[in-house]
Structure 1
């Protein structure tokens, strides 16, 4: 078998029956682009200019770039150095419109699951309906559906007026500054009117 030391030109004549050197150990003095086959692993490798052996079915480190990855390549997340789905990698602000189930998830949460409000709540002119029975002195609940804060204020002033509470105290409770405004809410009930009628009614003579 001839031993060609210089390059040999084949003049585009295909080589037939070529077999690369096979050994269980690396060649003694490898050069760049030299081929070598390992019979134990069954892999053929080539020598890089950097002095390392790369299997022909493998890819050199750094050779795969973003431009070389197909748009539909199925790469497992475990193969990535950073998991893009990890919450720790999420920065900035994401618009609610870009979250497919945002509205569904928010509506699924009860009010007692939401953080305590740090300011006054604005109902936008709408009423709180289907309220239950009061559970404590600091709970704003009522048995009657459709009762709003304005009606509660009106009702409280009316009950205080029926109880013969002075107007000044009623104003302090309802926080009215103008007596005329407070008087709009102080409407005596049927019992108060009946009591006033009894006072004005003439006394019957007794014999």
Structure 2
């Protein structure tokens, strides 16, 4: 069974296509790098996988669980390290921590301890099967970037699954077992980066994205 699977996943924001029939599968124990420029659809995908957003069409599964139909059950299997550390706007900080502790089935004493702990540590406090990260390592100093990469490698080595949304090609080349390149909501290419350095993966990334831009330009000109 795939740890993460999407099938023909689509999402629009008005006239903007965020996801265009996205289909992918991530096996247990993989580190899947979701590589794309800003606005490619990476965060939208993670928000659907973690039950925070409802797609317009298609379906998603995390550990075999539908995060749209049963979001609380899905969150027992998947954690998220979001791009922003802020809680949802409709919850207070304490309500957010209490909700997270309840879905992880912490006992009251443990929950109280976690509320006082550093916010990001709560993301890893329960026994996760899968972790989705939407993290900009550009905000971290070099030492912290290395520690984050070490955590990713240790976490996956324990048999867990990582879904790493990033636009940092070097990180993807170093820690990911599989990479999917996304742009304009479409999955353009999947590859295994083993043996590739950051420059080689960057070349593949630009080749895929430039081709996608060219296709979009041709499509517009043919309908104009």
Q: What TM-score comes out, normalization by structure 1 length?
A: 0.19
TM-score by length of 2: 0.18
Higher strand residue share:
2
Greater radius of gyration (CA): 1
Q: Which has the higher contact order (CA 8 A, sep 6+)?
A: 2
